[in-house]
């Protein structure tokens, strides 16, 4: 079996910054203190009107290709994880991106697992390299949830931001790369976090628009509990299954949804604060893009050293969650 690692990372954040103060100034019944204290978020990025998911994905993908030292002709497969595609039904955002990147003779498809999208796409893409069928797979995770939140709902609009992250998956030295991936789903909790209408169950109508049922609905408290109770035990299991202990973890990279969720997880996993990567204060919850964005930032800062054990943990609507354990380095093949 071929070892597969992350050999390039990239990110894109829209230029427009919306601070907590901006949200207060929109007239919402909230305060900068409440938002920061309850979520850890200070500001988030919001895509300008003329920027779509595929535009952000393009920038992150180019960044990752450059970082990996690869050209578009080196890529054998493109996977885009998103729940906010350019077009509701088709074509896929992956096909739009494949064209813009000039990828030729490759498969390209979208993958939908909400905020867990990156973890699912990473796991899926890695299989093609692991089997020897493909050399380089490009995974791009992008979301533009600012288009799907009610900017008058103080409990939801404060949380989300837009952005894209990307990784290149290629062969690495033996015993490096992705050591273990575990995917989970629990559809009986689907209604905790959903966009209730606008799909095939209830097609778009004037009534739906008036009731804002085409926008995100969430039971925040229940999602909070579900998140902590799902991915924390799964991280513990995965670490054990990989033959590692919690002390072996050099960096923990959780999905950035709420700082209190991250802190609680770190506490339960008995991880030192300096091992936990956090950027939620700058970007809010960028959904499937959050883990690859923070991975790209950490790599640019030179944080990861050869042999570091990195545990990535995603969770989100569905309900879905996932854990990927990676040994960094070995990029000499």
Q: Show which residues are catalytic.
A: 115, 255, 285
Question: Taking Cα atoms as reference points, which of 279, 331, 267 lies closest to residue 305?
Answer: 331
- Please report whether residue 230 would count as binding ligand COA according to CB under 6 A: no
Q: How many helices (H) and strands (E) does the chain have?
A: 10, 13
- Please report whether residue 284 would count as binding ligand COA according to CB under 6 A: no
Site for ligand COA in 128-157 (CB under 6 A): 154-155
How many whole angstroms separate alpha carbon 61 and alpha carbon 53?
Answer: 12
Which CB, 314 or 330, lies closer to ligand COA? 314
Point out which span in 49-57, 213-221, 240-248, 297-305 binds ligand COA (CB under 6 A).
213-221
- Please report whether residue 35 would count as binding ligand COA according to CB under 6 A: yes
Site for ligand COA in 180-199 (CB under 6 A): 193
Which of 47, 95, 137, 158 is in the footprint of ligand COA by CB under 6 A? 158
- Please report whether residue 39 would count as binding ligand COA according to CB under 6 A: yes
Instruction: Tell how far CA 16 is from the center of its chain.
Output: 20
Question: Taking Cα atoms as reference points, which of 332, 329, 331, 290 lies closest to residue 312?
Answer: 290
Q: What is the per-residue burial (b if ≥16 Cβ within 10 Å, else e) of 236-256?
A: eebbeebebeeeebbbbbbbb
Q: What is the per-residue burial (b if ≥16 Cβ within 10 Å, else e) of 134-161?
A: bbbbbbbbbbbbbbbbeeeebebbbbbb
Report CA-CA distances (Å) from 256 to 39, 115, 164, 197, 291.
10, 9, 13, 26, 7
Q: Which tokens hold the place of 44?
A: 């988030």
Which CB, 91 or 220, lies closer to ligand COA? 220
- Please report whether residue 223 would count as binding ligand COA according to CB under 6 A: yes
- Tokens 């991280």 correspond to what residue? 235
Which CB, 5 or 314, lies closer to ligand COA? 314
Binding mask 234-273 for ligand COA (x = CB under 6 A): -----------------------xx---------------
DSSP class per residue in 210-227: HHTTTS-EE-HHHHHHHH
**Smallest distance, ligand COA to C-beta of residue 1, A:** 32
Which of 34, 109, 151, 184 is in the footprint of ligand COA by CB under 6 A? 34
**Residue 112 · residue 120 · CB < 8 Å:** no
Closest residue (Cβ) to ligand COA? 220
- Please report whether residue 38 would count as binding ligand COA according to CB under 6 A: yes
- Please report whether residue 291 would count as binding ligand COA according to CB under 6 A: no
Question: Taking Cα atoms as reference points, which of 2, 109, 101, 17 lies closest to residue 59?
Answer: 101
- Please report whether residue 16 would count as binding ligand COA according to CB under 6 A: no
Which CB, 99 or 219, lies closer to ligand COA? 219
Which of 85, 117, 165, 316 is in the footprint of ligand COA by CB under 6 A? 316
Site for ligand COA in 106-125 (CB under 6 A): 115
Which CB, 41 or 169, lies closer to ligand COA? 41
Report the SS3 class of residue 277. Answer: coil
Footprint of ligand COA (CB under 6 A): 30, 34-35, 38-39, 115, 154-155, 158-159, 193, 218, 220-221, 223-224, 227, 257-258, 285, 315-316
């Amino acid at each position: 079996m071929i070892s597969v690692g992350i050999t390039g990372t990239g990110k894109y954040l829209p230029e427009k910054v919306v601070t907590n103060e901006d949200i207060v100034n929109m007239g919402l019944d909230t305060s900068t203190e409440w938002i920061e204290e309850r979520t850890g978020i200070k500001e988030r990025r919001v895509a300008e009107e003329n920027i779509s998911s595929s535009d952000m994905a393009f920038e992150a993908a180019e960044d990752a290709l450059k970082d990996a030292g690869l050209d578009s002709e080196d890529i054998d497969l493109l996977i885009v994880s998103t729940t906010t595609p350019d077009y509701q039904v088709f074509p896929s955002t992956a096909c739009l991106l494949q064209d813009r990147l000039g990828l030729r003779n490759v498969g390209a498809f979208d993958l939908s697992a909400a905020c867990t999208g990156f973890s699912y796409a990473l796991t899926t893409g890695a299989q093609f390299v692991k089997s020897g069928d493909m050399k380089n797979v490009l995974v791009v995770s992008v979301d533009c949830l600012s288009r799907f939140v009610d900017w008058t709902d103080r409990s939801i609009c404060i949380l989300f931001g837009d952005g894209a992250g990307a990784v290149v998956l290629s062969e690495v030295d033996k015993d490096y790369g992705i050591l273990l991936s575990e995917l989970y789903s629990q559809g009986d909790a689907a209604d905790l976090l959903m966009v209730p209408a606008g799909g095939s169950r209830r097609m778009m109508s004037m009534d739906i628009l008036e009731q804002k049922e085409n926008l995100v609905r969430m039971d925040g408290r229940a999602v909070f509990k579900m998140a902590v109770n799902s991915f924390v035990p799964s991280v513990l299991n995965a670490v054990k299954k990989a033959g590692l202990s919690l002390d072996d973890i050099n960096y923990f990279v959780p999905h950035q949804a709420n700082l209190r969720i991250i802190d609680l997880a770190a506490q339960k996993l008995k991880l030192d604060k300096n091992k936990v990567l956090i950027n939620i204060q700058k970007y809010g919850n960028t959904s499937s893009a959050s883990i690859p964005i923070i991975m790209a930032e950490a790599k640019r800062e030179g944080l990861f050293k050869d042999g570091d054990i990195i545990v990535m943990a995603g969770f989100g609507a569905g309900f879905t969650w996932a854990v990927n354990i990676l040994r960094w380095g070995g990029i000499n093949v």
